Amino acid sequence: MPANAVWQYDYIDYYRLDEKIIEQYLREKLGAYKYHVKVIYTFQMGPGAWLNDSRQLVGDKYRFWVPQKLSKKEQDGLLKKRKAKN
């Protein structure tokens, strides 16, 4: 890991991943650190949202704390670890 690494949050799609898969992948790539993996829900407010709760779930992502954002190659490697479809 670079000595000048600046720890920051990075994100990946939630679909067919779980915290254990992400944590294991990050440990293999970056070493044994606390990555604070957490699912983040994204909502979009619909028309009339101020009158009632008309939020719509538009996506889920995992957020994790890393010394540098994952490269496209690393993101693709993590996405390949997704659980099989049932």
pLDDT tens, position by position, for the chain (86 residues)?
666 778 999 999 988 999 999 999 999 999 999 999 998 877 666 655 555 555 555 568 899 999 999 999 999 999 999 998 87
Dihedral angle sign, alpha carbons of residues 35, 31, 59, 85: negative
48: left (phi over 0), alpha (psi -120 to 50) or beta: left
pTM over 0.85, yes/no = no
